[in-house]
Structure 1
Amino acid sequence: MIRRLVALALLATAAVAPAENPQFQGADPHAVMIDGELWVFPTGGPGGSWAADRFGAFSSRDLKTWRPRGELIRRDQIRWIGDDGAKEHFLWAPGVATRNGKWYLYYSVGPQNPTPSRIGVAVASRPEGPYVDSGKPLVTGGPGPTGRGFEAIDPMVFTDRRSGKIYLYAGGSAGATLRVWELAPDMVTIRREVAVPTPPQFTEGAFMHERRGTYYLSYSHGRFNGPDYSVHYATARSPLGPWRYRGAILTSDARRQGPGHHSFVTTPDGRTLIVYHRWEQPPAPAPLKGERQVAIDRVRYAKDGRILPIRMTEGAASPVLRPR
């Protein structure tokens, strides 16, 4: 217990040692550019500090040295978390969004069994918080509209610049079902669910981005702790499909396994990066051992808009941020 508390104190105050790929220990990273600095909101973080009961954030101006941004919210600050009667709960897979000067932290509360998983949302005036929970779950898992089961995990919020509508993407694992809702402008209320097909090879971890009129729905495929974990994508002319499956873009190689649960981010100079987690080990059967590591790599597009296969890097080959 004392060791964990010390780790958490360091998480909130100390700079993370200079690093290249892999950047630091953690998983499920949601990356956002804020004032020329790359912020990462992960499950866990450097120093082995993941206790599954709180979220932190980390930022960097060069992708070499990371600044801990402190504690965002703790499990014991979410009053409704024990309403389901389950004996234990874990927090994972955060996603953030901003609107009208406020920041919104969406997060998964699990596990799925014996009670359904849930997605919550908390609000802050700054990206580093502190965040205050909205007071109730935003989405609860269960049978789902397809009858195959729905696990309420891995939230991602996307605002469509064309229509101004705000969409929440979530789901995966149990039933491997994708669901989408339109959010009200307050960002903490669901306006309606929008029926969308689940794309081929979808398991979890949906992420939406738009480029030159094409909407890219990317997601993780495979077992989260297996070598088949990978990133696939589909495209559409709207953020709601119909999807055209385009294949895998990030897969295991001879030195790194199970890359996935990612986010895309555009740097101030117009480049696109993918931020994801992986295991630093050669091929092995599931379950992979050790801790997941956050890594960052370059994304390149073909002239026809396809995402080219992404090559995982390490050391000096890792991307850096260029000064503004």
Structure 2
Amino acid sequence: MKKILLYFFILFCSKTIAQSTTTAEAKSNNPVFKGWYADPEGIIFDKTYWIYPTFSAPYEDQVFLDAFSSPDLTHWTKHSRILDTTAVKWAKKAIWAPSIIKNKNKYFLFFGANDIQSDNEIGGIGIAVASKPEGPYKDYLGKPLVDKFYNGAQPIDQFVFRDKDGQCYLIYGGWRHCNIAKLKADFTGFVPFKDKTVFKEITPENYVEGPFMFIRNNKYYFMWSEGGWTGPDYCVAYAIADSPMGPFKRIGKILEQDSQVARGAGHHSVIKAPDSDKYYIVYHRRPLTETDGNSRETCIEEMFFDENGFIKPVKITHEGVNSNPLK
């Protein structure tokens, strides 16, 4: 009898522990994958979620990019070194902030490299191309697409935006300046605007870096990061306009650190789930236990709007988002 009771006691305890573990795992989805990764761009290709982040390390060690894929925003597969400096001869370090777009069955990965500080240095924004989202990627142009400081914008933090009419734009810039330029259909260069200028400045108030744009209900939501990336003031703010050209008047912050959760929340992207009005913000943050500026990890939260279309402040969490299979 004692053996039977002991058996059921052990079985009960094991089941309780298993349930607790499963619940804990289900509620602890942030960070979404292991490792120090920042500046994440999230996107959907063929019913699969993808994240393309910066490998967060000293500049000299940032010589490659990894990617991550998931069917449900919860279980992630790592794709190592989809691009590295062996494939881009002019890139030596500081490969940053990838932005990807599919165009004519090819995948074009835009990236910044070398952290150039003047027009006299080699580097800037480049493009790599592959036939699959996971690569391998190779240099598309053999040189940077943008290698100069137009309108004061450092050529980093590139985002490729496709408008409703199919026209693609490059939106980019560090050093508190943001430019927009109209890309050629084959991404080999730019098409001048009607006034014959190529790079137009669309910098909103408090802009620092990390631009991102999406369309919702025919409105253009322009988002960016403010503050210093190693400091407590790093955050995400946004504006709304009727055109990708703006003008963009700052509305306010919607993502920032939480002293109970993590520091330095910023440099984000947004994923819209297909056939729904669900939006997710993908961003990086620094754990409370870390003091190294490069100790950044990638996280996801659901993003909500009010009845007037304004973005509600996002609460950063350890829970993240629940499993959300793509159908």
**With structure 2 as the length reference, what TM-score do the two structures score?**
0.82
Are the aligned partners of 1:156 and 1:170 in contact in 2 as well (CA < 8 Å)?
yes
Q: Tell me which moved more, 191-200 or 272-281.
A: 191-200
Change (3 A) 1:309 1:67: same
Whole-angstrom CA distance in 2 between matches of 1:117 and 1:236: 32
Cα shift at 1:311: 0.9
Alignment size in residue pairs: 289
For 1:22, the equivalent position in structure 2 comes to 31
Are the aligned partners of 1:251 and 1:258 in contact in 2 as well (CA < 8 Å)?
yes
- Structure 2 residue matching 1:77: 3-state secondary structure: coil
For 1:195, the equivalent position in structure 2 comes to 200
Q: Tell me which moved more, 200-209 or 288-297.
A: 288-297
Please, what is the CA RMSD of the aligned residues?
Answer: 2.4
Are 1:124 and 2:135 counterparts? Answer: no
Unaligned runs of 5+ in 2: 1-24, 193-197
Change (3 A) 1:76 1:202: same
Are the aligned partners of 1:227 and 1:288 in contact in 2 as well (CA < 8 Å)?
no
Are 1:37 and 2:44 counterparts? Answer: no
Whole-angstrom CA distance in 2 between matches of 1:136 and 1:237: 34
Change (3 A) 1:323 1:158: closer
For 1:181, the equivalent position in structure 2 comes to 181
Are the aligned partners of 1:273 and 1:298 in contact in 2 as well (CA < 8 Å)?
yes
- Structure 2 residue matching 1:90: 3-state secondary structure: coil
1:6-40 superposed Cα distances (whole Å, 9 cap, x missing partner)? xxxxxxxxxxx996111133101001112222100
Are 1:151 and 2:154 counterparts? Answer: yes
Whole-angstrom CA distance in 2 between matches of 1:212 and 1:152: 31
For 1:228, the equivalent position in structure 2 comes to 233
Match for residue 248 of structure 2 among 238, 243, 247: 243
Are 1:95 and 2:105 counterparts? Answer: no
Whole-angstrom CA distance in 1 between matches of 2:46 and 2:126: 27
Unaligned runs of 5+ in 1: 1-16, 82-87
What letter corresponds to residue 36 of structure 1 in structure 2?
Answer: K
Identical positions, percent: 34
Q: Which segments of structure 1 move beyond 4 Å, counting only runs of 4 or more?
A: 287-290
Match for residue 73 of structure 2 among 63, 76, 87: 63
Are the aligned partners of 2:232 and 2:263 in contact in 1 as well (CA < 8 Å)?
yes
- Structure 2 residue matching 1:205: 3-state secondary structure: strand
Cα shift at 1:110: 2.1
Cα shift at 1:288: 5.4
Larger Rg: 2
**With structure 1 as the length reference, what TM-score do the two structures score?**
0.83
- Structure 1 residue matching 2:90: 3-state secondary structure: helix
Cα shift at 1:230: 0.2
Q: Which residues in structure 2 correspond to 1:246-257 (within 5 Å)?
A: 246-254=251-259, 255-257=261-263
Match for residue 283 of structure 2 among 262, 276, 287: 276
Change (3 A) 1:178 1:215: same
Match for residue 297 of structure 2 among 282, 293, 301: 293
Q: Which residues in structure 2 correspond to 1:304-323 (within 5 Å)?
A: 304-315=308-319, 318-323=321-326
